[in-house]
A and B are shown apart, each in its own frame.
Chain A
Amino acid sequence: MEAIVKASESKRIHPQKFTLWVAMGSIIMMFAGLTSAYIVKKNQSSWLEFDLPVVFGYSTAVILISSITIHLAAKSFKAREMARYRTLITVTAVLGLLFMGMQVMGFIDLEARNIALTGAKSNSAASFLLVITGLHMLHVLGGVIAILVIFIKAYSSRIKNYSSLPIDMIGTYWHFVDILWVYLFIFYNWIG
């Protein structure tokens, strides 16, 4: 059975994987909409110029590392090294949370520099940063929750699952939010 499945899998993409790809296209459109709005807004009057929080550089490193760990996790799963697999997905999830924490530190940093993110004093340059970065964080959170689900599955002995589909899909998604952040980081620094 496994062998047959493998053979046909390589020929044709699994419908759920395919759905994920389309969903990612959809998410791209959302961020494309927001970054386009950012550019439109920037070209109008009263746009506040300020330096990005330094911590965003470090958070970029963190999320890049987490992409490596989830990649290794998927490899261990396929090699059926379950202990290694469990450690690696845990590390990935923790890195995801760390990333989110660092983004919040970035927001605090801005507020400390008297750059209001919301409220009457705020400039939409900062508000955009909050909204776009915040939305991205929610997408990372979605990934963390997905990891939590497979994590529970990996620890419960009753459920034996040999399908690598979930970890593959989470891996794809995780790389996606990673690349999305790298895009946003480049966008904030050099494009927008």
Chain B
Amino acid sequence: MSNEAVLHAPAEAGLHQDAHGDHHHEHHHHETFISKYVFSQDHKMIAKQFLITGMVWAVLGGLMSVLFRLQLGYPDSTFPILQDLLGKWAEGGKITPEAYYALVTTHGTVLVFFVLTAGLSGTFANFLIPLQIGARDMASPFMNMLSYWFFFAASMVMLSSLFVETGPFSGGWTAYPPLSALGDASPGSKTGMDLWLISMALFVVSSLLGGLNYIATILNMRTKGMSMTRMPLTIWALFFTAVLGVLSFPVLFSGFILLIFDRNFGTSFYLSDIFINGVGALPNEGGSAILYQHLFWFLGHPEVYIILLPAMGMVSEILSVNSRKPIFGYMAMVGSLFAIAILAFLVWAHHMFVTGLNPLLGSVFVLLTLLIALPSAIKVFNWLTTLWRGNIRFTPGMMFSIGFVSLFISGGLTGIWLGNSALDIHLHDTYFVVAHFHIVMGVASMFGMFAGIYHWFPKMYGRFLNNTMGYIHFWVTLAGAYLIFWPMHYQGLAGMPRRYYDYSAWESFKQFTELNRFISTVAMIVFAVQLLFLFNFFYSIFKGRKVTTLNPWGSNTLEWTTPINPGHGNWVGEIPEVHRWAYDYGKDGKEFIGQTTPVGADETHH
């Protein structure tokens, strides 16, 4: 069978072709531009589509944060350029309160869902799953393609919401009612919120299509010899990520459906007879806004792990490869991923400690929340011991992985503060929370993503990223991230609430005027360095140093047994058979032993 022919029978076992599978191959030899780059069903191309769309959103979302940081850092100044950029949203060069909230909301939504979910899982699940388990493509390449195009549609709808008359939704990324349920509540609650909901519904469909496929592929399409316990940790992490998504996004969806009914059909799921300025008392009766919070956070908490786990998986792999040592405690790593995935469903109410939650119930959630520290600590310990006395190669990918570990420790520790309901009464909705989740989720996962890009870029494009630019990118981003978010802990401890437009109006927060200005300045520098990364990325696609060997990192995993620029179907001949786990580094005096090498008779056991 030719490579193309094999493609049409993706699984070795159990997959039969339809009666006329044979005449298919003929047409597939000449791929058109459209079928290769646009409506591609090749998992590698779809991965790149996710990545680049995610990067566009990262730039837009990052730019939004620069804009609202400008307001926070310089509340008394005007910037005429803002009026040129934003028009009526920055009349006289000062961002209006409506625009400020719209920017914060869109920044949050876009970074959480479009960049760190679609851009991260979408990219690396698509790219790495078939390559690392030894499959020609996903279980359903067609569904995979749909997954991207639903994401694209979601992106377009969200983008269009930036241009409507009343502006995009402005009630925060969590979209709590009544702001989200009531068009009269704020300008952004009108068309902007409708578009937000449509966009997010499309996004949920995209995530589900993707997740189903990832799970089916990992469980059914592994090559011969690739038992579950021989899979690289990247695949385990992407697997649990997909499971989390498939089980939690539908619950968010049900929350959205009830929200749509409240918005459009006058029902009272979330709305009650509250009094709205300028509208009067609502006719609704008996609705509970807290109900939405339960449904939202039942997704919302797993979602933060959906964002984090892929980063954890890639970091585990990259740390081991570049320490030239086996990952420490492979089974403990899998076990802790599993524990995190289970616990992720049992802690959602820690976002709701101050909603009048029954204190007894609250203490149950405190206990379950603090339990997460256990598997998290196991992972940190194993990463550190993997590094310990390793023969470390400080590639940019490795630097970002080590940076990830640092950030995860810093941000995880503040989680333990917040997980205590008594402390949370003081800390809830302050900058302490902002600092916590930006470090542990935002920046850490971003680092995981960068690590993945630097490490697998040679496989994606057959060229290397420029190292010097990589190191500048790393150091400025790491230092910048700490300089931005570390001081926010102090602001939060001092009681500075999140989501305020102008802190200089409060006597007690005037002390932070200088600090806010400092944070805003660093934010702009860090943003500028991301542009350097973008330049590096696109420049290197065309002009980067060429990859000349199959396995430039001396890595054990299967993706490095494919040709330098693999075609659709990945391997030219047979899919290789796997004989060992992915982490035989420095074993029996050999620097590394690929997964395809049969176990020798005289080999020691690990």
* A interface residues with partner B (beta carbon < 8 Å): 1, 5, 8-9, 11-16, 18-19, 22-23, 25-27, 29-34, 36-37, 40-41, 44-47, 118-120, 122-124, 127-128, 131, 135, 160-163
Interface of B is mostly: helix
Are the C-beta atoms of B219 and A18 separated by less than 8 Å? yes
Contacts of A163 on B, CB cut-off 8 Å? Answer: 16, 18
Return the 3 tightest CB-CB contacts between A and B, nearest first.
A30-B250, A33-B251, A46-B286
Which of A1, A11, A32, A123 touches B251 (beta carbons < 8 Å)? Answer: A32
| Residue in A closest to B283 when the chains form the complex, CB atoms | A120
Q: B208 on the interface (CB 8 Å rule)?
A: yes
- Give the CA-CA distance A3 to B339 in the complex, in Å: 43
- Give the CA-CA distance A122 to B139 in the complex, in Å: 45
Are the C-beta atoms of A8 and B294 separated by less than 8 Å? no
Are the C-beta atoms of A14 and B15 separated by less than 8 Å? yes
Q: B542 on the interface (CB 8 Å rule)?
A: no
- Give the CA-CA distance A27 to B287 in the complex, in Å: 25
Are the C-beta atoms of A26 and B247 separated by less than 8 Å? yes
- Give the CA-CA distance A172 to B287 in the complex, in Å: 37
- Give the CA-CA distance A15 to B286 in the complex, in Å: 46
Are the C-beta atoms of B295 and A33 separated by less than 8 Å? yes
Known contacts A47-B286, A127-B269, A19 near B254 by CB under 8 Å:
no
- Give the CA-CA distance A96 to B405 in the complex, in Å: 54
Are the C-beta atoms of B212 and A26 separated by less than 8 Å? yes
Known contacts A26-B250, A27-B250, A33-B250, A131 near B216 by CB under 8 Å:
no
Contacts of B221 on A, CB cut-off 8 Å? Answer: 15
Contacts of A34 on B, CB cut-off 8 Å? Answer: 254, 257-258
Are the C-beta atoms of B15 and A15 separated by less than 8 Å? yes
Are the C-beta atoms of A18 and B216 separated by less than 8 Å? yes
Known contacts A22-B212, A32-B251, A9 near B14 by CB under 8 Å:
yes
Known contacts A22-B216, A29-B248, A119 near B16 by CB under 8 Å:
no
Q: B261 on the interface (CB 8 Å rule)?
A: yes
Q: B285 on the interface (CB 8 Å rule)?
A: yes
| Residue in B closest to A160 when the chains form the complex, CB atoms | B19
Contacts of B288 on A, CB cut-off 8 Å? Answer: 40-41, 44
Contacts of A26 on B, CB cut-off 8 Å? Answer: 208, 212, 246-247, 249-250
| Residue in B closest to A35 when the chains form the complex, CB atoms | B254
Are the C-beta atoms of A22 and B246 separated by less than 8 Å? yes
- Give the CA-CA distance A18 to B215 in the complex, in Å: 9
Are the C-beta atoms of A37 and B291 separated by less than 8 Å? yes
- Give the CA-CA distance A23 to B139 in the complex, in Å: 14
Contact size range, B:
35 or more
Which of A5, A15, A122 touches B268 (beta carbons < 8 Å)? Answer: A122
Shortest B78–chain A CB gap in Å is 45
Shortest B276–chain A CB gap in Å is 14
Q: List 9 A-B contacts (CB under 8 A).
A: A8-B13, A12-B220, A19-B139, A19-B140, A22-B246, A23-B212, A26-B208, A29-B251, A123-B268
What 0/1 pattern do residues 283 to 305 of B give for CB contact below 8 A with A?
11111100100110010000000
Q: Which of A13, A37, A47 has the largest number of chain B CB atoms within 10 A?
A: A37
| Residue in A closest to B266 when the chains form the complex, CB atoms | A119
Contacts of B268 on A, CB cut-off 8 Å? Answer: 122-124, 127
Shortest B360–chain A CB gap in Å is 16
Q: B593 on the interface (CB 8 Å rule)?
A: no
Residues of chain B from 208 to 236 with CB closer than 8 A to chain A in the complex: 208, 212-213, 215-217, 219-221
Which of A12, A22, A40 touches B294 (beta carbons < 8 Å)? Answer: A40
Which of B216, B248, B266, B291 touches A15 (beta carbons < 8 Å)? Answer: B216
- Give the CA-CA distance A81 to B229 in the complex, in Å: 45
Contacts of A160 on B, CB cut-off 8 Å? Answer: 19
Contacts of B284 on A, CB cut-off 8 Å? Answer: 120
- Give the CA-CA distance A128 to B291 in the complex, in Å: 13
Q: B458 on the interface (CB 8 Å rule)?
A: no
Q: B482 on the interface (CB 8 Å rule)?
A: no
Are the C-beta atoms of B266 and A13 separated by less than 8 Å? no
Q: B330 on the interface (CB 8 Å rule)?
A: no
Are the C-beta atoms of B213 and A120 separated by less than 8 Å? no
Q: B265 on the interface (CB 8 Å rule)?
A: yes
Are the C-beta atoms of A8 and B14 separated by less than 8 Å? yes
| Residue in B closest to A46 when the chains form the complex, CB atoms | B286
Are the C-beta atoms of A30 and B216 separated by less than 8 Å? no
| Residue in B closest to A162 when the chains form the complex, CB atoms | B19
Are the C-beta atoms of B139 and A131 separated by less than 8 Å? no
Are the C-beta atoms of B247 and A37 separated by less than 8 Å? no
Contacts of A45 on B, CB cut-off 8 Å? Answer: 286
Shortest A85–chain B CB gap in Å is 18
What 0/1 pattern do residues 127 to 168 of B give for CB contact below 8 A with A?
000000000000110010000000000000000000000000
Q: B255 on the interface (CB 8 Å rule)?
A: yes
Are the C-beta atoms of A15 and B11 separated by less than 8 Å? yes
Are the C-beta atoms of A131 and B14 separated by less than 8 Å? no
Contacts of B208 on A, CB cut-off 8 Å? Answer: 23, 26
